[in-house]
Chains A and B, each alone.
Chain A
Amino acid sequence: MATTTVHRSARTRNSASAAGRVRAHSPYTSWFYLPAAVIYGVLFLVPTVIAFYFSLTRWSIFDSKFIGFDNYVTFFQEPGLISSLWHTLVYAVLTSGAKVVLGLGLAILLTSQIVGRGYLRSVVFFPVLVSTIGVGLTFTVLMNPERGLINQSLDLIGITGPGWLTDPSLALISVALVDIWKGVGLATLIYIAGIVSIPQEYFEAARVDGAGAWDNFRHIVLPLARPATVTVIILSLIGGLRSFDLIWAMTRGGPGFTSDVIASVIYKQYQAGFYGLSTAGNVVLFLVVTAIILPLSRFLNRKEVEL
């Protein structure tokens, strides 16, 4: 067995240098990249490049016509674009911020010595496992202004609940609340991992110095859980910026256009058969997400190094 391996790698190295390329010696040949490269190329690279081209055409499923940057012009003139950009931003910041705060709070609670800790951890994580569409449809029923459980419960204590999903000023926030409920488990999990990896010595030393619970949190947990914070912010912000499934399941961007985000605008264009236009929209969405996340991730990671 061992001899064959040695023999084979020697052969490969010989043939590689014969072809004029010198490689750092690896026990594997570069052929091993091929399956992954083929799958990545066919399913990701090629479609991405093709998408850039098709965003410059007006195409139907049956044919296409090159029209230059007209799709981008139309897309940026879309009356709902500015409001949907704004909704996207509000939604992303709201869900991301709430997940950081709630996730950290829950993680601290669930790493402390409380009764039924394991059980509570699974309870908090459970919504993450449920299908987003299922959650969306369930909450649509619960949030029905007249017959929904939420408003009926509020009625019992004498409060007239608002039209959670039908009031234009509330719809987006209601969906964001559900997103937070569903996503906070993952944030909590990341924070728990971050907190339990802090060495106990710090806490012991702090106790010797007479630090209270707040000092522990402020000066040990918060700074040392920073990698977890960065991960939660980045993940939830990306998720928020391109969120679509929950919004679509709950309001379809409605009432009217009041909870439309970029992704739902693009989806509606695709649905209407404006394929070129929606491809252009996807390119724009890709650039917007990159433009927000790349500098942010650089910034957050640099801070981490400085600590």
Chain B
Amino acid sequence: MRTRHIAIALLAATSMALTACSAGSLGSSDDKGGDGKVTLTYLIDNGQETLKVAEQMVKDFTAKNPNITIKLDTRPQGTDGDNLIKTRLSTGDMSDVFMYNSGSLFQAMAPEKNLAPLGDTENIGQLDKNFTTAVTSNGKIYGVPLGSYMAGAILYNKDVYAKLGLQVPKTWADFMANNAKIKAGGVDPVIQTYGETWTSQLFILGDFANVTSADPDWADKYTKNQAKYATTPAAEAGFQHLQEVHDAGYTNKDFASAKLADGLRYLAQGKGAQYPILSALLSQLIADNPGSENKIGLFPIPGTDAAKNNLTVWSPNGVYIPATTTGAKLDAAKKFLAYIASPDGCTSQTTASTPTGPYAVKGCTLGDVPQAVKDMQGYIDSGNSSLALEFVSPVKGPALEQICVEVGSGIRKADAAAKLYDEDVKKQAQQLGLEGW
């Protein structure tokens, strides 16, 4: 008898201990009251501007839908954030609505298994085709766009250009010639900020429009393991450019430790003339450095051919509903997504943060935008733009930022770096189970 008691007590104690270990109800305790009130959790990244936009949007949306409350939750950006998203999806612990990249990272979430399709949601028909292809899996749309299209390009200080009498370069040779003059004028020609390693990749990622114009099928061949960075001169050029800029001493002195915010400040103050970066950072640049709206211009990363001076474009992030959101919460979440995909949603975004590119929702207007956005719009309207590699191929190596830091700091040569990166992407392709690797 006694032994059995002990056994039962142990069993009870163990199971209690185990339940205590399992991820309990984190937050969102009062989901539903009796009066149809719903509380949604909304996971966003911890970028300054993302938070501002999300707060404004939630405020405007809940004003119209008083029965829905939305709680914001933030996550880190970059690979830490990727990890968190995948882990929370797989453990069924995802918030009711979340924001994440479109394109290859969207595909990596296994959308058919983990996300709720938006087929019958209002306003889905109003979305731009370029965006919906980036959030479609097996013919079903899973996301609505947050933010605007952005470009991977060179932001430049127009005052410095005007003072030194420079023209916007159309080829890499022109660009380097400009750099020589800028340096002679006592300004750092190219800003680099390896304190935040991801910023090092722009000379490669933002150069992809040039790769596409040299060979329109390159991305396809790349996905099938038939084209390589190291063996395609147009693709390797990105690494070469990075090395040339470092070898010529054209970067700011503190490139190894400077952070993104430092880089934006140098550009706004004219301490540096040109900064290869994502155009979405314009809003942070303007917010941190008031009065710089019309001092900053934008041009594509130049290639070899002046006639094909194309801009590399990123599709906006998506907002998704995980498959774990059901019932009243699902309805509320769809309502919220429909709001994001409406012109009212765009207005919310514009109120919170200066738009840094065209929206992917039809019927949205930009209003008064900074000079760099007008420059960008020019390239997109005239058809001189193409999508970045991550939207046309799922193959992206995780170590690109470190490799770029090495090339940009003179630790590794460009050709060796291109070879190393080709090795790096192999693992990604194998993990994804692609054919031919």
Contact = CB atoms under 8 A, between A and B. Distances in A.
A247 to B, nearest CB: 14
A31 B257 contact: no
B83 A271 contact: yes
B304 to A, nearest CB: 28
B256 interface: yes
Scoring B6, B110, B197, B402 by chain A CB atoms within 10 A of each residue's CB, the highest score goes to B402
Contact of B257 (A38, A144, A273): A144
A254 B402 contact: yes
Contacts of B18: 42
A81 to B, nearest CB: 12
Contacts of B405: 254-256
Interface string A33-55: 01100110010000000000000
A31 B13 CA distance: 14
B3 interface: yes
B80 interface: yes
Contacts of A79: 420, 423
Nearest to B424: A79
A9 interface: no
Contact of B431 (A58, A146, A167): A58
B399 A268 contact: yes
A163 B89 contact: no
B79 A166 contact: no
Interface stretch (B118-126, B143-151, B327-335, B406-414): B406-414
A22 B344 CA distance: 80
B261 interface: no
Given A166-B409, A168-B411, A271-B82, 9 more contacts: A8-B2, A61-B87, A74-B427, A163-B257, A166-B194, A273-B82, A273-B108, A273-B428, A277-B431
A28 B381 CA distance: 82
Contacts of B428: 272-274
A60 B402 CA distance: 24
A254 B405 CA distance: 8
B197 A254 contact: yes
A145 interface: yes
Shortest beta-carbon contacts, A-B, top 8: A272-B398, A256-B406, A166-B256, A61-B90, A271-B79, A146-B254, A256-B411, A256-B405
A252 B253 CA distance: 22
Contacts of A35: 10, 13-14
A34 B6 CA distance: 11
Nearest to A167: B256
Chain B interface size, as a band, is 35 or more
Contact of B427 (A38, A257, A272): A272
Interface in A121-170: 144-146, 163, 165-168
Given A254-B402, A255-B409, A271-B82, A62 B257 contact: no
Contacts of B80: 271
Interface string A246-271: 00000011111110000000001111
A274 B431 CA distance: 6
A31 B402 CA distance: 53
B430 A58 contact: yes
B113 interface: yes
Given A58-B431, A256-B411, A268-B399, A166 B406 contact: no
Interface in A269-283: 269-274, 276-277
A269 B87 CA distance: 15
A37 to B, nearest CB: 10
Nearest to B410: A168
A62 B114 CA distance: 10
A145 B254 contact: yes
A29 B403 CA distance: 60
Contacts of A271: 79-80, 82-83, 398
Interface in B254-313: 254, 256-257
B47 to A, nearest CB: 19
B63 interface: no
Contacts of B83: 270-271, 273
B7 interface: yes
A272 to B, nearest CB: 3
9 contacts: A35-B14, A62-B110, A145-B257, A146-B254, A167-B256, A257-B406, A270-B83, A274-B431, A277-B427
Nearest to B431: A274
A35 B11 CA distance: 9
Interface string B72-87: 0000000110110011
A57 to B, nearest CB: 11
A34 B402 contact: no
B13 to A, nearest CB: 7
Contacts of A166: 194, 256-257, 409
Contact of B256 (A29, A65, A163, A252): A163
A223 B62 CA distance: 74
Contacts of B420: 79
B93 to A, nearest CB: 12
Interface string B414-437: 000000100100011011010000
A71 to B, nearest CB: 10
B10 A34 contact: yes
A61 B6 contact: no
Interface in A211-270: 252-258, 268-270
Contact of B194 (A8, A146, A255, A258): A255
Interface string B98-132: 00000000001010011000000000000000000
Nearest to A275: B431
Contacts of A42: 18
A273 B381 CA distance: 37
Interface hub of A31, A79, A165, A272 (most chain B Cβ within 10 A)? A272
A252 B110 CA distance: 28
Nearest to B86: A61
Contacts of B411: 168, 255-256, 258
B430 A168 contact: no
Contacts of B110: 60, 62
Given A61-B90, A62-B113, A145 B256 contact: yes
Interface string B4-24: 001100100110011000000
